[in-house]
Amino acid sequence: MSKCTTPLRFLLTVLIFVSAASAQALSGDVRYGTEKVDGQEIFFREAGDPSNPAIVLLHGFPSSSHMYRELLASLSDDYYLIAPDYPGFGNSSFPSKEEFTYTFDNLAKVVNTFLEKKGVKKYSIMMQDYGAPIGFRIAAANPERVQSIITQNGNAYEVGINKDSWAPIIQYWSTPTKELGAIIEKNVYSADAMKWQYTHGTRNPESILPDNWILDYANISRPGQTEIQLALFYDYQNNVKLYPQWQAYLRKEQPPVLVVWGKNDAFFPESGAEAFKKDVKDIDYNILNTGHFALEEDHAIISEKIRHFLAKRKIK
One digit per residue, pLDDT tens: the chain, 316 residues? 333 444 434 333 333 333 334 334 334 599 999 999 999 999 999 999 999 999 999 999 999 999 999 999 999 999 999 999 999 999 999 999 999 999 999 999 999 999 999 999 999 999 999 999 999 999 999 999 999 999 999 999 999 999 999 999 999 999 999 999 999 999 999 999 999 999 999 999 999 999 999 999 999 999 999 999 999 999 999 999 999 999 999 999 999 999 999 999 999 999 999 999 999 999 999 999 999 999 999 999 999 999 999 999 999 8
pLDDT of residue 24: 40
Cα separation of 316 and 312, whole Å? 11
Cβ count near 153 (within 10 Å) = 30
pLDDT of residue 28: 57
Is 292 a known active-site residue? yes
Cα separation of 117 and 121, whole Å? 10
Of 59, 66, 292, 299, which is the active-site residue?
292
pTM (predicted TM-score) = 0.91
151 and 258 in contact (C-beta within 8 Å)?
yes
DSSP β-bridge partners for residue 286: 260
DSSP β-bridge partners for residue 47: 30, 81
Calculate ∠ Cα 70-75-81, nearest 5°.
85
Q: Under 8 Å CB-to-CB from 255, ≥6 apart: which residues?
A: 139, 143, 146, 147, 148, 149, 280
170 and 163 in contact (C-beta within 8 Å)?
yes
pLDDT of residue 14: 35
